[in-house]
Amino acid sequence: MPKDLRLPFDPIARAGELWRARWGESSQSGAMVTATSIMRVQQLLLGEFDAIAGRHGLTFARYEALVLLAFSREGRLSMGRIGERLMVHPTSATHIVQRLAAQGFVDRVANPDDRRGALAVITDTGREAMEATTADLEAAQFGLGMLSSEDQGRLFSLLRDVRVAADDFVEDPGTGGR
Amino acid sequence: MPKDLRLPFDPIARAGELWRARWGESSQSGAMVTATSIMRVQQLLLGEFDAIAGRHGLTFARYEALVLLAFSREGRLSMGRIGERLMVHPTSATHIVQRLAAQGFVDRVANPDDRRGALAVITDTGREAMEATTADLEAAQFGLGMLSSEDQGRLFSLLRDVRVAADDFVEDPGTGGR
């Protein structure tokens, strides 16, 4: 953020103080400031990732779809599977693939298993844009280079507890994190 | 998430394994899975908060604007200040206030300090909707009840390191967190 737009105090910590002053010391001010921090950091990271992806004609969401396709066995996936794996609404997946197709980063082909559905297939230029964006995101350490590897692991683990409790996936008892 | 839509594995941990398999053990897979987790948890929390705010005719963004107004000294703020404190684009702040005004939750009055600008003033029904949403968010522990108070503090602190490094605000050396 440009220096002149920075607040001279932590606005989230300040909000926590106001929260306790209004709703009491036994209020959920700790949860409130933590949830607000998650949203703020998501906003900061997405802004940074979109800027990086933008250098290669992509948004971060479109980049994620290209990674998914590149990682798939045959470089092709149905819209439904893309939405499921990106954890976005099927309509969003369709929109993302439409934009990628217009850019020549994916081709759409008929789905042999679903007459009404289509498969997205990553193209060579799609792979190039994906690789170039990946290199830049790796160089930027996914916006988390200020944290040690250990602190990244602690952050992942705390957020995993939230995801497990939200029933986001069925926990495999054999693996305990990353 | 409905049980039938849950994946039988942690999709983010799986992505980390694929990342290391493709880009090597020295790649930034730890940062990648952590950044992805931040985005996923933000999505989960926002979905939950929007559902709660929706019971009172609000979205979470509009609720945040009402809290800001209720906390302000005279219950009124300029569009610019609302955008600044919510850390959203001025256009978004204007849109949020327009929706709140259409609902009767705020009034728009002339800004004595800026002939072209307007001030948003929270109304009594706006305060009621804000208080009712707050009570429900507090009861839901801001979606973070699965974490102990100590773990919430750890999470806040790790995310604060990210915000400080991103120059999000000027750190006050006199306060060290929440």
Give the mean model confidence (pLDDT) for residues A128-145: 98
Do B8 and A169 make contact, defined as CB atoms within 8 angstroms?
yes
Give the mean model confidence (pLDDT) for residues A93-102: 95
Please tell me the distance from the alpha carbon of residue A23 to that of residue A11, in angstroms, as a whole number. 18
Per the document, the length of chain B is 178
pLDDT recorded at residue A152: 98
Which residue on chain B is closest to A153 by alpha carbon?
Answer: B30
Please tell me the distance from the alpha carbon of residue A62 to that of residue A100, in angstroms, as a whole number. 7
pLDDT recorded at residue A89: 85
Residues of B in contact with A33 (CB under 8 A): 156, 178
Do A11 and B85 make contact, defined as CB atoms within 8 angstroms?
yes
Q: How close A115 gets to chain B, by Cα (Å)?
A: 23
pLDDT recorded at residue A118: 87
Q: In the predicted model, is pLDDT for residue A90 greater than 80?
A: yes
pLDDT in tens, B7-59: 788 989 999 999 999 999 999 999 999 999 999 999 999 999 999 999 999 99
Do A161 and B147 make contact, defined as CB atoms within 8 angstroms?
yes
Mean pLDDT, all residues of chain A: 91
Which residue on chain B is closest to A156 by alpha carbon?
Answer: B34
In sequence order, the β-bridge partners of residue A75 are none
B110 touches chain A (CB under 8 A): no
Give the mean model confidence (pLDDT) for residues A71-86: 89
pLDDT in tens, B73-129: 889 999 888 988 888 888 899 999 999 999 999 999 988 888 878 899 999 999 999
DSSP code for B5: G
**Cβ(A70)–Cβ(A61) below 8 Å:** no
Please tell me the distance from the alpha carbon of residue B132 to that of residue A54, in angstroms, as a whole number. 41
HEC profile of B122-159: ECHHHHHHHHHHHHHHHHCHHHCCCCCHHHHHHHHHHH
HEC profile of A87-143: CCCHHHHHHHHHHHHHCCCEEEEEECCEEEEEEEEECHHHHHHHHHHHHHHHHCHHH
| pTM of the model as a whole | 0.90
Residues of B in contact with A172 (CB under 8 A): 8-10
**Cβ(B12)–Cβ(B40) below 8 Å:** yes
pLDDT recorded at residue B161: 96
